[in-house]
Structure 1
Amino acid sequence: MSHKSDVRQRVFRDLRQVAFPDSRFHFDFGEFIADFQQREAATERLVAHRYYQEAKVIFITPDNCLEELRHRALQDGKQVLMTTYSIKRGFWLLDPAEIPEDRYLYAATLDGMERMGRAVTLAEIRQMPKTDFMVTGTGAINEAGIRFGKGHGFFDAEWGMLFRIGNIDVDTPSAALVHDCQVLAEELHPEVFDTVSDVIFTPTRTIEVSAPHKPTVGIVWELLDQEMYDTIPPLQELCRMEALGQV
């Protein structure tokens, strides 16, 4: 864990040269995933990929660098499943059929998504079509697809919850969209709960990952931080569902 922290800090120093500050967190990359220069080129690579082209429902994290992708997905008629505020206000669905077209851009923002989208519980997500593609930003990632996010494990928790209720499976592809300076050559090994990306998109490269690890453990409750459980309602909902034998 200390090695991961050292890597993050090194990457964050480089990222500061190309990242756009957040209106709330400035350059505190431990609190948000930054947008960055030439992000448009990385987004174009992603939307041209077959994973995006074939997807009807896409989970897209609420990262600053993915706002344009959320907008593009709505324009392309895709449903966008996402979370907001560290999952603390749960999962939300942006359905282009339910949002006026001239409000797509607003809906793709963190301020607009809760006004234009609708909150969905895990029980409701179980009844929805399966998610076809998972996309996240991250603090750093190596060429084997192992992410170093902000260190909170939100994407792995989101994967674990959706996997546990059957909304995704081991064949569901996941991608990371990052700046080139965030891609590392260092060799690391994923933890049992780490979701390794199938493909990495940068402004200059598309990196396909061979045999990426996909966790099948759901939520490892004994390893879950108590504060995450206490502050994230979907985790509490999943715990109740498991206790009642509903998943």
Structure 2
Amino acid sequence: MASQSQHPNPKLAISHRIWSSLLPHAVPDSRYNYDFSFFIPDFRNSSAAIDRLTDLPCYNLARTVFITPDNCLEQLRLRALKDGKKVLTTTYAIRRGFWLLDPRTMNEEKFEIASLLDGMEKSGIGRQLTWTQMQEEDIKVDLCATGAVAVNEKGVSFGMGHGLYDLEWGMLVDRKVVELRTPTIVLVHECQVIDGAEEMRTEAWDTVCDFVVTPERVIEVEEAVKPSCGILWDKLKPSLMEAILPLQELKGIQMMEKIMQGAGTVQESNMPGQSIPESDELMGIQMVERIMKGYKP
């Protein structure tokens, strides 16, 4: 058998090993059972990890928190609502975009259903937000929390291989909803923390976390460097652009901002010698034109 260092995809090799170790501790998903290639599972005693996370000063100071839709963070979403914090989250795989859960706009008995992916989109619970609405409402996130398949003690983590958290971070940074100094926490089972010596090759868009939290301990990462590159469109898989509405909207916003900064109109920008928007850019522009009548540069 080839060693991990010889494996053509070291992260995949780590994932397979972690999944085996996690299986005795994991809570099955209602749809995907124990197929961890589709979701980040909750695990037994995750409440202890959440208690450690909520004891951190950065959590207590936060007014608005971004919490990914991972199963292991379901109770954190509930806890944050009970603590009076606004929760910004996304639907599964970001397909239907970003949703805001505001404890001030719902009865407390609805907090639990709001913390569920199948509940937050129900009428009177969560509210879908476009990038334009986030700008108009001046949404600022004070803390980010995510799950992971594996993470090392340097805060380098990865999920199911789609880079969804990196996309979320890149979009939030681009729209200035988060800052590079915004604390980021990854919550995992102890068996998901791997030896720092193992190969965890990072890319320019990989988001390093400031804290790694497990039921047993909190690891603070010194000088965690988070990416400022936003979305690298030339590196983005076309399938993600087609499936994720906020990416389409963001592409359109960026195109419109360029136009508003001196290129004139879309028609003027297509004059000889200037680049013609690609199909995904036009798709984004068309989407934004439908919702951005009140756009403020």
The TM-score, its normalising length taken from structure 1, stands at 0.97
Higher relative contact order (CA 8 A, sep 6+): 1
Q: Deviations over 1:104-127 (max 9, x none)?
A: 011101111111101000111123
* 1:26 aligned onto 2:33: yes
> Contact 1:192–1:217 (CA<8 Å) still a contact in 2?
yes
Compute the displacement of 1:210 (Å).
Answer: 1.1
2:245 maps to what in 1?
Answer: 233
Measured in 2, the distance between the counterparts of 1:174 and 1:52 equals 10
1:148 maps to what in 2?
Answer: 158
RMSD of the TM alignment (CA)? 1.1
Compute the displacement of 1:190 (Å).
Answer: 2.2
Measured in 2, the distance between the counterparts of 1:40 and 1:85 equals 22
> Contact 1:190–1:196 (CA<8 Å) still a contact in 2?
no
1:89 maps to what in 2?
Answer: 96
* 1:211 aligned onto 2:223: yes
> Contact 1:175–1:200 (CA<8 Å) still a contact in 2?
yes
Segments of structure 2 that go 5 or more residues without pairing to the other structure are 1-7, 259-296
**Could you tell me the percent identity over the aligned residues?**
45
Aligned counterpart for 1:129 among listed residues 136, 139, 156: 139
1:180 maps to what in 2?
Answer: 190
Write the letter of the residue equivalent to 1:117.
G
Measured in 1, the distance between the counterparts of 2:135 and 2:166 equals 18
> Contact 1:194–1:213 (CA<8 Å) still a contact in 2?
no
Aligned counterpart for 1:220 among listed residues 222, 232, 235: 232
* 1:37 aligned onto 2:37: no
Moved more, 73-82 or 188-197: 188-197
- The secondary structure found in structure 2 opposite 1:234 is helix
- The secondary structure found in structure 2 opposite 1:186 is coil
Aligned counterpart for 2:67 among listed residues 60, 71, 80: 60
1:16 maps to what in 2?
Answer: 23
Segments of structure 1 that go 5 or more residues without pairing to the other structure are none
- The secondary structure found in structure 2 opposite 1:156 is helix
Compute the displacement of 1:239 (Å).
Answer: 0.2
Q: How does 1:66-105 map to 2 (within 5 A)?
A: 66-105=73-112
Measured in 1, the distance between the counterparts of 2:225 and 2:159 equals 17
The TM-score, its normalising length taken from structure 2, stands at 0.81
* 1:138 aligned onto 2:145: no
> Contact 1:92–1:119 (CA<8 Å) still a contact in 2?
yes
Write the letter of the residue equivalent to 2:95.
K
* 1:157 aligned onto 2:167: yes
Moved more, 117-126 or 198-207: 117-126
Write the letter of the residue equivalent to 1:123.
T
Compute the displacement of 1:189 (Å).
Answer: 4.1
Aligned length: 247
Compute the displacement of 1:148 (Å).
Answer: 1.8
Aligned counterpart for 2:207 among listed residues 188, 195, 198: 195
Measured in 2, the distance between the counterparts of 1:186 and 1:30 equals 23
> Contact 1:8–1:148 (CA<8 Å) still a contact in 2?
no
